Amino acid sequence: MPRVGGHLPDDYGLSLTVLVPTASEANPVDTGDVLVFTNTGAYHAGPAAAGDAVQLIAKHPVSDPFTPLGVHAFGYSRVSKVKFTGTAPTIGASVEADGTGAVRTAAAANGTRVLYVDAAGGFCEVAFP
């Protein structure tokens, strides 16, 4: 009888492309490395420290900060482009509904995470649980 479960093909789950500003020849990111989001810029990631929750796993190696890195994302189900009102949210902030069909920066973390902000365009890209 075939085994059920195990590793799923790449087209299942949430995948993203990120940049790893700390990646270099001396500090490469290898396939399977565990990473976390960082607040240094849009779609930035870095190596996970001991005790960090697993947020991302590298799909392939990179050895410079400019090469996009494909990752599997965990704890999020979708990334959506949404309008915001008020002050533009910051990278890493949580958002909540503003009551007018857009979002605003949340007062407390709620599981959402801003990954990109276009302040002039009035929108941001948010990872939702």
| Span 77-107, pLDDT tens digits | 999 999 999 999 999 999 999 999 999 999 9
Q: How far apart are CA 46 and CA 36, in angstroms?
A: 6
- Name the pTM for this structure: 0.85
The two three-digit tokens of residue 111, written as one number? 């599981």
At residue 56's C-alpha, the angle toward residues 91 and 70, to 5°, is 90
Mean pLDDT, residues 113-127: 95
Q: How far apart are CA 123 and CA 19, in angstroms?
A: 21
Q: What is the pLDDT of residue 8?
A: 57
- pLDDT confidence tier of residue 10, bands split at 50, 70 and 90: low
**Given a cut of 90, is residue 13 above it in pLDDT?**
no
Among residues 99, 125, 128, the alpha carbon closest in space to that of 42 is found at 125
For 16, 52, 57, 67, the CA distances from 33, given in Å and listed in that order, are 15, 13, 6, 16
Query: Per-residue pLDDT tens for 14-58?
Result: 899 999 999 999 999 999 999 999 999 999 999 999 999 999 999
Mean pLDDT, the chain, integer:
92
